[in-house]
Amino acid sequence: MGWKASGIPRNELYLQTLFLARSVNGYSTTTNCNLPNNVCPPSDDLSIEEDVNLAINSSLYNLQTDYLDAVLVHNFRAKLQPYEETIQVWRVLERLVDMGTIRHLGIVSVHDKDYLTKLHNEARIKPLIIQNRFHSNRGYDINLRPTFQEFGLANQLFWILTGSAGGRIRNNDVVKDLAAKKNVSPQILLYSFTMEIGGSPLIGTKSVSHMKDDVNSLVTNKIQWEKDDLITMASVINNNLIQ
């Protein structure tokens, strides 16, 4: 297990995983279960509570830990699951939070304000994290950002480099010039920009050197932005990202 081999104490790490019901159409019914002796019952035999508990126990086993810092309810391929199913799953996860098995809860791919508001209002343990793609076809969640702030949601972002913004921005001359001014790559500049507008970029690199560069520019020696620079960057993506 990577985190154990790193020598970093468990309490200095944040281990997060997703829950996706095995009954979701198009999702492999085998990937949500990995337990000793491969004791994985058919999904048709499981109640929602059993499905959640099986998935969480699998994650604990896979990650070799006795608790998870966060579990996010996943909407597969950005298709919202029926709300009543989501709240049933949420009730089971809330009990696992009560038990100390999970610390925080969140949800993935919700670009619907009414859906998110209903979950926030009805949840006993409020969602702490909203993980959405950074993509033009979702309007970069510009209209939802005030709601994220109102509900105290950490906004995790994915598809930053590979979605609609990524390639176009990396190859944009204005962005290249700005990146050179900041002495970073266009990729790191884009990550940093998403942080400046209130996001937490999810970085999927497998390169140790790239990760060290990212940490240096985003955390250790954080890029300094002027308002004009932010406006310039937004003009390449969407002007409304900077109000």
Q: What confidence tens digit (pLDDT) does each residue in 50-108 have?
A: 989 989 999 999 999 999 999 999 998 778 999 999 999 999 999 999 999 999 999 99
Q: Are residues 105 and 17 in the same domain?
A: yes
| Same-domain status, 25 and 111 | yes
Question: Residues 110-122: pLDDT tens digits?
Answer: 999 999 999 999 9
CB 184 within 8 A of CB 217: yes
Q: Could you tell me if 2 and 120 lie in one domain?
A: yes
Shared domain for 30 and 108, answered yes or no, is yes
Is position 68 within any domain?
Answer: yes
Instruction: Judge if 20 and 100 occupy the same domain.
Output: yes
Selection from 76, 145, 158, 159 nearest residue 116 by Cα: 145
Q: Are 71 and 182 in a shared domain?
A: no
Q: Which of 104, 127, 150 is the C-terminal boundary of a domain?
A: 127
Q: Burial of 48 by CB count in 10 Å (0-12 exposed, 13-18 middle, 19+ buried)?
A: middle
| Residues in the chain with pLDDT values less than 70 | 1, 23-39, 41-44, 165-166
- Which positions ≥6 away from 226 have C-beta within 8 Å? none
Asked whether residue 117 falls in the same domain as residue 220, the answer is: no
Same domain for 166 and 119, yes or no, is no
112 plus 203 within the same structural domain: no
| 156 close to 199: Cβ distance less than 8 angstroms | yes
pTM: 0.90
**Residue 186 belongs to domain spanning:** 160-243
Domain membership flag for residue 168: yes
Residue 98, domain CATH: 3.20.20.100
| Domain tally, the chain | 2
Q: Are residues 121 and 26 in the same domain?
A: yes
